[in-house]
Structure 1
């Protein structure tokens, strides 16, 4: 199988902003044909226009990855449009954070798992037959450093990202067992400069939840101190990993260091994350 993305049809979910948008641009620059989707039609259109300006053929669609039937229809549409599908980047995600387990509303869990976990499962299952048929397929599922390190007030997000890790590793084992022509890459980004922290507040308001002073302060700390790597750099690392055939891509020194911490102190790291939580955010406003 050929790891290069040149000439291949690549699907990117959540391509309207952040890492997904930049992955689409990197793929376009490297000669891939694209199918991009998002729930934000305006921002998706901006991504598509820029990708076309970079020379890519682009198929666009409004898509909520949490809608199983819609994802299945989308996979059929992309295959019909391009004639073949080689790669799926299951990138779409939401933060689903900012509240403790005691505080969190059921709607937060429902929506976070629908997008972050079932969105990945929907995309993988809908496109996998097409990837196998291509003879040169690749599934790229985006987890997080919170796919192996849990933090306070991120229970829904961590649950989804830990599950993406397990699902993806099981998929890889199946592809190897059956000797099917599909590589599988699991991506663990660290702090990347996207609007994911700010969008937490918007998501809360959409659910009728008024953000607390603590949540507002948390968002500010994330945006100013923790989300540091440019999304363009993260996207290059991801596509480089795909082209290298890497089964696992950790994006950023924070992702690598978190991985080392959990491996070194599997029982003790929660105390360290709790201490860091108090130092960064305190407990006021909860």
Structure 2
């Protein structure tokens, strides 16, 4: 797919972050949009911004939106059918919606684990299977599934998130191989973003026990980790769309993703010890800062 002009793209998690910037860049290239999210207010804003982006670029497109919980299988299939009903076809599905849940394994809440798995993994599976027949019917289709840097390497307190993103990676790599064998005009790309400047950290769920590993309470921990989000959502969207045009099997988004991928490939076992060492250093700094602040307050 060398051009998005005249194509139709469906995007989950389109109310903000990478989902929104993907929508705006596609709109500017003349791609019509079927957008979804649970955040209807943000979704309405994205629709307006996409229409403005298209108009500014001199493009004539159609944009529709749908409130959607991607973990609801029936709703996902209904949205896929509605997209084709509205546009007559669909060429791309960006399974982009995602959430975060941080906690030590010892303190995992099973309901929370089901919640994150339902959105991050099953949402990708449902989106892939619901749209695949329609993509094949279009004659030119692409499935873009968002994994993560944490789908390439594991991190302490991120076992639930790691599980979902490693699963997306394996699912998408298998999917791509099957599509290659089918030669049906549809392809797939696994996306591995590093720290992207979106609201995912602020919206994440973290258990109180995370302080044991980070030295900071849940809210302070979110602010701390946001400092490592170094790539803009606009840059991330640009990298992803270029990768789709080049039909890449996977794409690393951000210098941190590139560096960590290289480390894991070079040191597939000992990278874990390096991660532990860095986490301990960060925790010690946090604890020392808290101690100094306590002394000042006294």
Same fold (TM over 0.5): yes
- Cα RMSD (Å): 1.8
Cα deviation, residue 222, structure 1:
1.3
Cα deviation, residue 111, structure 1:
0.6
Q: For residues 153-176 of structure 1, what are the alpha-carbon distances to aligned partners after superposition, in whole Å with 9 as ceiling and x for unaligned? A: 011100000000000001011111
Answering whether residue 187 of structure 2 is matched by residue 183 of structure 1, we say: yes
Secondary structure of 2:269's counterpart equals coil
**Alignment-derived partner of residue 234 in structure 1:** 236
Give the alignment of 1:22-37 within 5 angstroms. Answer: 22-37=21-36
Any gaps of 5 or more consecutive residues in structure 1?
Answer: none
Give the alignment of 1:110-149 within 5 angstroms. Answer: 110-149=114-153
Q: For residues 113-132 of structure 1, what are the alpha-carbon distances to aligned partners after superposition, in whole Å with 9 as ceiling and x for unaligned? A: 00000000000000000000
Any gaps of 5 or more consecutive residues in structure 2?
Answer: 55-60, 291-298
CA shift in 2, pair 1:210/1:47, >3 Å:
farther
The 2-side partners of 1:111 and 1:279 are apart by 31
CA contact (8 A) 1:65 1:119 kept: yes
Give the alignment of 1:163-182 within 5 angstroms. Answer: 163-182=167-186
Give the alignment of 1:1-286 within 5 angstroms. Answer: 2-55=1-54, 56-97=61-102, 99-200=103-204, 203=205, 213-223=216-226, 225-282=227-284
**Aligned length, in residue pairs:** 277
Cα deviation, residue 281, structure 1:
3.2
CA contact (8 A) 1:65 1:123 kept: yes
Cα deviation, residue 71, structure 1:
0.2
Cα deviation, residue 211, structure 1:
8.4
Larger Rg: 2
Is the deviation greater in 240-249 or in 88-97? 240-249
CA contact (8 A) 2:4 2:26 kept: yes
CA shift in 2, pair 1:268/1:130, >3 Å:
same
CA contact (8 A) 1:142 1:188 kept: yes
The 2-side partners of 1:68 and 1:267 are apart by 37
Cα deviation, residue 204, structure 1:
5.4
The 1-side partners of 2:87 and 2:254 are apart by 34
The 1-side partners of 2:269 and 2:117 are apart by 26
CA contact (8 A) 2:147 2:190 kept: yes
